[in-house]
Amino acid sequence: MSPLPTVLAVVLAGGEGSRLYPLTEPRSKPSVPFGGRYRIVDFVLSNLMNSGIHSIYLLVQYKSQSLIEHVNRAWTLSNAIPGQFITVVPPQMREGPEWFQGTADAVCQNLHLIESRAPDMVAVFGADHIYRMDIRQMMRFHKERNADVTVAAIPVPLQQASSFGVITADDDGRIREFLEKPEHPVPMPGRSDCAYGSMGNYLFNTEVLKEALLEARDRGEHDFGRHILPRLLNTHQVYAYDFSTNRIPGVRDYEEQGYWRDVGTLDAFYDAHMDVLGMEPRFNIFNSKWRIYSSGYQGPTAKIIDGYVKNSIVGAGSMVKGGSIKNSIVRREVIIEEDVELEDCIIMDYTIIRKGARLRRVIVDRFNTIPAGTQIGYDLEADRARYHISEAGVVVVPKGDELNISRYF
């Protein structure tokens, strides 16, 4: 088997994530906590590392401090291996006073970093999704097709396709049309309920990327999906890689093969959490052959003094003093007092749920104290006066003030 080309990854992690408000009020979308111990950005970084891509620039923009601190803690690589790094890159404003104006503009403003590394290919990936992907399989597809650009794509329900770039492709994957977030998506051939959606992950031959970015800059264009990709269809070989064919070692038969979720809305974010629960979850976080990496937390293990816990995740450093926890995710250093009831909830780090509180279908962001006897999620009209509520009726308690929770142990 011929060797794979050298690849530099550019991860677009500057997303504002307005549809995830209020979770994105204090932080960018990629730094939003996920599951028992992760951040959303950990999934793309883990996929790159597991695929042998160790040269990574992470482009940040909106409310980036939380993300920068997380990457510095969790993703420090050894300098002993040449070309192994994860470098956070905020807007440098080298070409003017503007921040990144779009996905292509973000990469164009950092074109000097790509030129200094001189890779054969550049992987431009988003940082907003929950999935596992062996990028080497996409690279082999790219090389076999002699492609100039390859776009990772996946069938998506037609009613959701307006949030994607929609692709029309030949049987061999050659893309003939690319429509960015069309109002009326075109169904896939033979599947009237689905459209072929771009995942926002691209492989470019380096020279093709450089030429396309410089042309877009001269034309005042800023986006891959709206500007660069549609124009390249007429001049270059642009292919769609079917992500549903990607195979990851260690994935169980009961899991949803090709699991990928854009957690850009509160309801999608909530549903993805529910997908990791159960004896046979749709997406099993534990996979010893394709791990999802994150920060090396140094606190104690969870402690359960009393209570009832069913189909739930309880993170490290948390203490359950009593009550009932069902179908819920409790992250790190959370205190659950006596007679508390949690059902279908996501409780983020450093939160205290006081005695007798009742929560159902609630996301509680970090650093909160829920007073004794509080009820949330049982009367949505009453909750609406105090909290944000998603379209599907999930109540979100925004981030509270930071506190030293250790005194409660």
pLDDT (0 to 100) of residue 179: 87
What is the model's pTM? 0.94
| Furthest-apart CA atoms within the chain: distance in Å | 66
Asked if residue 151 lies in contact with residue 166, where contact means CB atoms within 8 angstroms, the answer is: no
Q: Which of 43-47, 191-195, 205-209, 401-405 has the lowest mean pLDDT?
A: 401-405
Q: Is the pLDDT of residue 110 over 80?
A: yes
Give the angle subtended at the CA of 164 by the CAs of 258 and 174, to the nearest 5°.
Answer: 70
**3 state SS of 197:** strand
Per-residue buried b or exposed e for 285-295, using 16+ beta carbons within 10 Å of the residue's own CB = bebeebebebb
Structure tokens at 7: 């690849």
User: At 2, is the pLDDT very low, low, confident or very high (cuts 50, 70, 90)?
Assistant: low
Asked if residue 196 lies in contact with residue 169, where contact means CB atoms within 8 angstroms, the answer is: yes
**3 state SS of 384:** helix
Burial class (CB in 10 A: 0-12, 13-18, 19+), 221: buried
Sequential DSSP letters for 286-341: --TTSPPP-----SPPPEE-S-EEES-EE-TT-EE-SSEEES-EE-TT-EE-TT-E
Domains in the chain: boundaries: 7-262, 303-408
pLDDT (0 to 100) of residue 171: 85
pLDDT (0 to 100) of residue 295: 86
**Gyration radius (Cα) of the chain, Å:** 22
pLDDT (0 to 100) of residue 396: 98
- Identify the CATH number of the domain defined by range 303-408: 2.160.10.10
Per-residue buried b or exposed e for 143-170, using 16+ beta carbons within 10 Å of the residue's own CB = bebebbbbbbbbbbebeebbbbbbbbbe
Give the angle subtended at the CA of 384 by the CAs of 19 and 378, to the nearest 5°.
Answer: 110
Q: What is the pLDDT of residues 24-82, one digit of tens each?
A: 999 999 999 999 999 999 999 999 999 999 999 999 988 889 999 999 999 987 666 77
Structure tokens at 203: 């492989």
Rounded alpha-carbon distances, angstroms, from residue 177 to 94, 197, 239, 295: 34, 12, 11, 41
**3 state SS of 127:** coil
Burial class (CB in 10 A: 0-12, 13-18, 19+), 90: middle
Q: Which residue has the higher pLDDT, 257 or 17?
A: 257
CATH architecture of 7-262: Alpha-Beta Complex (3.90)
pLDDT (0 to 100) of residue 3: 63
